[in-house]
Structure 1
Amino acid sequence: MFSSLDHDSIMILVAIPCLLLLYFAIKTLKERLFPNPHLPPGSLGWPLVGETLQFLPINLPPEIFVNYRMKKYDSPVFKTSLFGETVAVFVGPAGNKFLFSNENKLVNVWWPTSVKKLMKLSLANVVGDEAKRLRKILMTSVDRDALKSYIDRMDLVAQNHIRTRWEGKQQVKVHPTANLYTFELSCRLFASIDDPIHISKLAHHFDIFLKGVIHFPIYIPGTTFYRASKSGDALKEEIRLVARQRRAALDKKMESHRKDLLSHLLVTADESGKLLSESEIVDNMLMLLFVSHETTTSAMTCVIKYLAEMPEVYEMVLREQLDIAKSKEAGELLKWEDIQKMKYSWRVVSEVLRMIPPISGTFRQAIVDFTYAGYTIPKGWKLYWSPNTTTKDPAHFPNAEDFDPSRYEGAGPAPYTHVPFGGGPRMCLGYEYVRPKILVFLHNIVKRFKWDLLIPDEKVPYNPLPAPSHGLPIRIRPHQSSA
């Protein structure tokens, strides 16, 4: 039976069951000798994998995992085991507030091992003073002043995208098309990469990379993580080459300081005068591509879906966007002031983000022992929060299953109940960037087309981010006179 196996393979086959038995024995003995009644209720599931397989189901809504356990344990916090780590899951606005308000005091950021390995020197993996230093540099590239200079280029890319991907067609598959648009826009704004062939090459690697970012970090040929790692290396090498060419050009004053993220990272020093290393620049460029891409694609796709389902909402968005279009001269591009006028459109987007949050949640880790809701959270435990614990709760959103943009009029939802981009010092770095990115796209689509869903009951599962099962195919009809 073992004739075809080498010695190492046989040793591995023997060692695995032995290690599992040892794990069970130690775990059982520890629980009997050192019971801790103050830990949150919950289950750690199977050895090694815990409840990870239930946490990452294919084609099921992410709230099933959390909401089922919220009801089962009837507790504001419960424990589980994910990605080989013991995890406390915080639920409701009180849990959100606690985690967001205690960053760098009781908790700090944590990502699964797969993320740490793929983006080692990015903001996703640093904590404390180093995180503050890096975040300050990155934030100035996506702050309001920087964004104001991006709006006209966003408009140009959106117009070109619509000419090549939408106009002259009767049907469009929205999710993959929006995916191409968001990636092209990021390439142009982040690194001034304009060549379609270069962008296509990067997009191929990026799609493979995304599939393995949140995954079991098994580095064996043929696994999802292995493929993601290889594509991540290819992306980093491409970014590194562009960065070196840009640095050489800047040093020789062969070109002016471009208004993009890459040039900003190359020339911006911290308070001590230290510039980012090449590896820091590369890993953070890749991280920003990751955090700004799929969430935006998902949000744009879901906005298109809801506008098809809500004709009265579509008409109000159309009216607002046509008013803006009519105020412009022929050929005049959108400006920051135009984005500020899209108030109703942004309320619609906000409601879409409540109905289908762009992320299922993120992680922190306990840096000290602390107590929450009467339960002890030991140092080293990982912590998880999810926007899904509040967005469909009628206690916070009356008639929660109804689509209602008026929820965001005036003061809007109560604090910590609508947090699609997180909160506190670790709030999504690209939040301000995502808003005009979506609104510019929406402006250009709505003023040109009306559309119908070809699959009216198409599901939108998370895997790991929300995406329609069939890509959201739609039938489009140009307006009689597009602006």
Structure 2
Amino acid sequence: MLTIAAFFFSQRGSGSGETLPPGTTGWPILGENVKFAWEGSEKYVTDRMKKYSSDVFQTSLMGEKMVIFCGPQGNKFLFTNANKLLTSWWPQSIKKALLFPEFYEDSLKEVTAVMSSFTHSILKPEALKQYIPVMDSLARQHIEQEWAPNKQVKVFPLSKKYTFDLACKLFMNVDDPAHIKRLADPFRLVTNGMFSVPIDLPTTAYNGAIKGGKMVRAELLKIIGHRRKELTKQSETEGGHQDLLSRMLLVKDEEGNICSDKVISNNIIGLLVASFETTSSAVTFVLKHLADFPHIYDQVYKEVMATAKTKGPNELLTWEDIEKMKYSWNVARESIRLTPPAQGAFRETLTDFTFASFKIPKGWKTFWNVYTTHKNPDYFPEPEKFDPSRFEGSGPKPYTFVPFGGGPGMCPGKEYARLEILVFMYNVVKRLKLERVNPNEKITYHSSPTPMEGLPVRIKLHENN
């Protein structure tokens, strides 16, 4: 009787006659974390949409009461009400892996305030156009050194290496291999464990993320301190290009004080997380699908060579070249639809509100997930089929293809990711033909999808190379 009564009252609103979304919060403390991890994001979400509601359901993840919004209407509601009814949020376990202890209780908006002030300037078209030659030059060097000399390579670790090297170069002007390795090795521990079950015991993935985070922060403080000394030696009248780190070091807060090294470190880590794991996963699975579907590869190759024939031997790619890669981008988007590099994002409710006739209380956390639409046959017929033509013309219905969010909540790094993916595709396809070593390789899901064997492929240089 007590169990029935507890269940009854847990489903009631706060006296207004409104009801909470259907669902279950699982076990005390553990919530449904284990089920979410065991079943995987796709099965977990689709099963509960069928069982509870195709609009919204409640659960408990990361130690928080949480509501999963579903379908195009749920996506639209969350994206268009960003910073109105909801705000960005990170679980405490993720903060502990990434940030200094004194920032654990700060809101995500406070933690990333410095980065947010630069988002527009570093991601506007004028800035992005300057990144393309750097991306192309580094991709050429990477293919030449890491791919071309071998008959077989593992795509996933190499994609991660390129992506991290590029982020270090563009954001901090760090390109020394030894220096990058001191950052990259512990950073991989962080990304491998920060979304795992938050048990901080020896040998657990989360423990590795905690230790890796400490090492990353220590290394970043060295870089920041060294750069700050360099800047103090420069004359105020000196011009020239400044990377993002140098610009951050000159930012002042509302009281006119220069931001501390720890604040800058938090923001650089935020940029690295945003630009590393998801993009390297996207690149990996684009190349996987090119290897799986030779007829798709051939079409991309034709488009790539049409551009390559207009370029001199040492001439780098431009914005105009990337804009011509229409079919290649459709291929990339279809790959991202089938194997989304990010599963969704968390928000926190700022006030009580109603959605689909259910009350969503203030302080509850929300989560939007790509799988409520990406593989729904109502929006993508034959959803498991790889078909880039889905993105021709007007493309999918609004708020159904949402790997980057949508509306005002659209990921500001979408264009950066698009350029990085297309530049890398161009350089790989221009030089190499790929063949999967194990077509039945299993995919696991951590923070992003991960091929269990690293996606080994046999490679063959094109005759014109």
- Deviation for aligned residue 1:35: 5.2
Q: Contact 1:266 / 1:276 at 8 angstroms: preserved in 2? A: yes
The secondary structure found in structure 2 opposite 1:97 is helix
Residue number in structure 2 paired with 1:469: 452
Structure 2 gaps, min length 5: 14-18
When normalised by structure 2's length, the TM-score is: 0.91
Residue number in structure 2 paired with 1:108: 87
For residues 179 and 357 of structure 1, the distance between their equivalents in structure 2, rounded to whole angstroms, comes to: 16
Letter aligned with residue 26 of structure 2: G
For residues 399 and 145 of structure 1, the distance between their equivalents in structure 2, rounded to whole angstroms, comes to: 39
Q: Contact 1:269 / 1:275 at 8 angstroms: preserved in 2? A: yes
Residue number in structure 1 paired with 2:162: 181
For residues 106 and 209 of structure 2, the distance between their equivalents in structure 1, rounded to whole angstroms, comes to: 18
CA shift in 2, pair 1:81/1:197, >3 Å:
same
For residues 104 and 284 of structure 2, the distance between their equivalents in structure 1, rounded to whole angstroms, comes to: 28
Deviates more, 1:369-378 or 1:419-428: 419-428
In the alignment, does 2:46 pair up with 1:82? no
User: What count of residue pairs does the alignment treat as equivalent?
Assistant: 456
CA shift in 2, pair 1:79/1:278, >3 Å:
same
Residue number in structure 2 paired with 1:36: 12
Deviates more, 1:239-248 or 1:163-172: 239-248
Q: Contact 1:354 / 1:420 at 8 angstroms: preserved in 2? A: yes
Correspondence list, 1:206-217, <5 A = 206-217=187-198
Q: Contact 2:11 / 2:20 at 8 angstroms: preserved in 1? A: no
Deviates more, 1:421-430 or 1:161-170: 421-430
Q: Contact 1:421 / 1:427 at 8 angstroms: preserved in 2? A: yes
Residue number in structure 1 paired with 2:425: 442
For residues 29 and 113 of structure 1, the distance between their equivalents in structure 2, rounded to whole angstroms, comes to: 32
Q: Contact 1:366 / 1:379 at 8 angstroms: preserved in 2? A: yes
Aligned with residue 129 of structure 2, among 142, 148, 151 = 148
Residue number in structure 1 paired with 2:218: 237
Correspondence list, 1:388-403, <5 A = 388-403=371-386
CA shift in 2, pair 1:388/1:231, >3 Å:
same
Aligned with residue 178 of structure 2, among 197, 201, 213 = 197
CA shift in 2, pair 1:256/1:56, >3 Å:
farther
Letter aligned with residue 370 of structure 2: P
Aligned with residue 74 of structure 2, among 77, 95, 99 = 95
- Deviation for aligned residue 1:354: 0.6
Q: Contact 2:115 / 2:267 at 8 angstroms: preserved in 1? A: no
Letter aligned with residue 319 of structure 2: W
Letter aligned with residue 86 of structure 1: K
Letter aligned with residue 459 of structure 1: K
Letter aligned with residue 397 of structure 2: A
- Deviation for aligned residue 1:279: 1.8
CA RMSD of aligned residues (A): 2.6
For residues 88 and 268 of structure 1, the distance between their equivalents in structure 2, rounded to whole angstroms, comes to: 37
The secondary structure found in structure 1 opposite 2:186 is helix
- Deviation for aligned residue 1:274: 5.9
| The structure with more radius of gyration | 1
Residue number in structure 2 paired with 1:262: 245
Structure 1 gaps, min length 5: 1-23
In the alignment, does 2:280 pair up with 1:301? no
Deviates more, 1:146-155 or 1:113-122: 113-122
CA shift in 2, pair 1:206/1:47, >3 Å:
same
- Deviation for aligned residue 1:434: 0.9
Letter aligned with residue 120 of structure 2: M
Residue number in structure 2 paired with 1:73: 52
Deviates more, 1:385-394 or 1:228-237: 228-237
Residue number in structure 2 paired with 1:452: 435
Correspondence list, 1:358-377, <5 A = 358-377=341-360
Q: Contact 1:123 / 1:131 at 8 angstroms: preserved in 2? A: no
For residues 144 and 264 of structure 1, the distance between their equivalents in structure 2, rounded to whole angstroms, comes to: 18
CA shift in 2, pair 1:413/1:123, >3 Å:
farther
Aligned with residue 369 of structure 2, among 351, 374, 386 = 386
Correspondence list, 1:268-347, <5 A = 268=251, 275-347=258-330
Letter aligned with residue 76 of structure 2: K
Deviates more, 1:112-121 or 1:364-373: 112-121
